[in-house]
Chain A
Amino acid sequence: MAENGEGGEEYLFKIVLIGDSAVGKSNLLSRFARNEFDSNSKATIGVEFQTQLVEIDGKEIKAQIWDTAGQERFRAVTSAYYRGAVGALVVYDISRRGTFDSIKRWLQELTTQNDSTVARMLVGNKCDLENIREVSTEEGKSLAEEEGLFFMETSALDATNVQTAFEIVIREIYNNISRKVLNSDSYKAELSVNRVSLVNGAGSKQGPSCCSR
């Protein structure tokens, strides 16, 4: 959700990570948010999303980056996962060809579930595994150009390009939001009016008068 609060400009961008199991989505997130890497390849359990503060053009932006909770393993990501996401990182593993072949299906699912994602990046992770690479950089770049995506190869293991990848997506969202505020998309604005959230103390009458995530 892109929120433009009134009490000083405050942005919250929802960004989702998608792609096959074990391509490194969770480690991309933990590397970006906490600068941590977990070599245990167990399916994602316990990680919801991470909120990270990023500064762009003097503005403070909250990036809320969502992980799949392992539901992608048997193609069971909820449609709710995509709601309101303005950014997406579509991730494959450069050392496993099948994960690259799945990218088109992930893009189709993303487009079907959410037509307002303004910043999409194709990410070829595990570029530290050069010696067992199965997808060339040119192939990744070519698919990204074909689909209109940003492209970057990363390594969550050694932190190559991780920070940069997220920052490019966040900046692209910010640029679009800035333009959109001038254009004021009335349909999306209609969706934002008078929302009720049950979290963060909104359950009591003393809760904040407007909800922001």
Chain B
Amino acid sequence: MTEPQDPFSYPPIDPVNFDLIIVGTALSESVIAAAASAVGKTILHLDPNSFYGSHFASLSLHDLTSYLTSPHSLPSAATAAASSDSDDIVVVDLVHQPLCTDAETATYDESAFLSENSRKFNIDLGGPRALFCADKTIDLLMKSGAAQYLEFKGIDESFVYEANAGLANVPDSRGAIFRDKKLSLKEKNQLMRFFKLVQQHLDDTQEEKIPKEDLEIPFVSFLEKMKLPPKIKSILLYAIAMLDYDQDNNEVCEELLKTKDGIDCLAQYSSSVGRFPNAPGALLYPIYGEGELPQAFCRRAAVKGCIYVLRMPVVSLLMDKVTGSYKGVRLASGQDLYSHQLILDPSFTIPSPLSLSLGDFPSERLQMLSQRDIKGMVARGICITRSSIKPDVSSCSVVYPPRSLYPEQVTSIKALQIGSNLAVCPAGTFILYLSTLCNDADEGKKLLKAAMNALLTLPVSGNSESIPSVQSDSEDIKPIVLWSAFYIQKLIMSKFEFISSTPTPDGNLNYNALLDATEKLFNQMYPNEEFFPKATSPEDPTDEDDNGLTLDS
């Protein structure tokens, strides 16, 4: 989005004092904006981009490519504006460090088509991402009132990738187990008995429970104790519980999932299946892309009085000279604004205080701000294809369990295909998202490319008329990749300080961990306020579903 107009030609922002200033419109920032507005806080919410969502945005193909390959640095504050340099204030310039690094994009075919239809794409930066029907996110959308701005569709199918066998359906209900063509009769009976055991455990009217000592052992050990075969173990651990690390590898898996937590994962998954009419599976996806979610919360905040500014970088912090406390921010337009609290997008930081000439300014507090709590990386991939990875299926999720691609594969890979019926790509095309946790960029990309090659094929160069070769071990024809992108996102935790920051997109398929961190941050900032008090959403349905495990036929 090239702006020929002066990007800072807005009128000055009035008022100049706020309870809270938020920089960045990612999901966490937007949820906090809505939550704080709902309890009457005055908020200014800014984003340096011309779009909402930050690293949770859904972008056109052109904008996505620009975002990944040419991150912008912060401009200097406009000197033309009358900035009041006060004797009481120390100005600390911010530094922008992009969260997406090591990006590589490639166009393999139909570049003219892709260019002409760039705006028909709404590509998620933080994908693969979806909501479980019984998700915490669903409850939050209803409680906050943001649900009225969104519509969803169900993800048609869920698959697990099996080495040398391709895609197998995830049998997530009694009916699905019955219909499954790849499970043996013995395996079906084992899975039915296991689901029944879990169902009884969760049913308060039943007396038969899983013993307490079993609940504390690793879930993988419990499944072995139940004598479930490796195939079913793999489905339960990675396709339903969605675990990232190889539970059979003690070296890589630092913390094995306990049985009680595994049961909770199964419960959420199973209570998601068939919860909504028109959505037979466990997963929902927002029409027009995941970028709609932060926009919904921002709209909610605006309705309650929050002021929104796009295309306006915050370039400096204003700190009290004597106490070192936060006072306000300086915009790129040169305007100074003040607030009691500040939330910064995690891509903003400050140089090490040692490199600043601050005199006798108390710089210990800045030291903490310049350090970011990086917990690892997520490798992400995006592919645009001309056909579905499964005939007659528009949208589906796929999990590649550890070691399903090659023996040294120690993490799961998650994939999500979305078709044009969700308004994220032109008719006749599909977007396949891939992600995995990793410790370095090369490792992550290698994993994703192996996953891509398992399902997709590249066009034969110079011969677009050729028919793609049929997989020898499957009746499916591999879709052709038209375009792909691979990039790394840093995993940064949220932090509460006098200046707070929010978490980055994690490696999970849903938002539960992220929203937990967001609510925790809100409670730390406003310990006496309720997170979305009920009075603000009169449409909240009173007939809440029981959170029980239901195996519908």
Contact = CB atoms under 8 A, between A and B. Distances in A.
Interface of A: 43, 45-48, 69-71, 73-76, 78-81, 83, 112, 187, 190-191, 193-211
Contact of A207 (B141, B153, B276, B304): B276
A200 B539 contact: yes
B454 interface: no
A45 B303 contact: yes
Interface string B290-308: 0110011011001111011
Given A80-B296, A194-B154, A71 B277 contact: no
Interface stretch (B96-104, B193-201, B220-228, B309-317): B309-317
Contact of A69 (B303, B421, B541): B303
Interface stretch (B142-150, B370-378, B461-469): B142-150
A196 B292 contact: no
Q: Report the interface size class on chain B.
A: 35 or more
A43 B44 CA distance: 14
A73 B309 CA distance: 8
Given A45-B304, A74-B13, A195 B278 contact: yes
B92 interface: no
A201 B538 CA distance: 11
Contacts of A71: 298-299, 302, 308
Nearest to B58: A79
A48 B141 contact: no
A204 B278 contact: no
Given A112-B119, A203-B541, A73 B138 contact: no
B279 interface: yes
A196 B308 contact: no
7 contacts: A74-B309, A75-B10, A78-B52, A198-B150, A200-B539, A204-B541, A206-B543
A112 B310 CA distance: 17
Given A198-B138, A205-B275, A80 B312 contact: no
Contact of A198 (B142, B303, B423, B544): B142
B151 A197 contact: yes
> Which residue among A73, A79, A198, A201 has the maximum number of chain B CB atoms within 10 Å of its CB?
A198
Contacts of A196: 151-154, 276-279, 284
A19 to B, nearest CB: 16
B499 to A, nearest CB: 23
B411 to A, nearest CB: 31
A52 to B, nearest CB: 17
A206 B542 CA distance: 12
A69 B10 contact: no
B288 interface: yes
A191 B303 contact: no
Contacts of A211: 151, 278
B309 A76 contact: yes
A83 B278 contact: no
A166 B81 CA distance: 42
B210 interface: no
B225 to A, nearest CB: 35
A201 B541 contact: yes
Contacts of A190: 420-421, 427
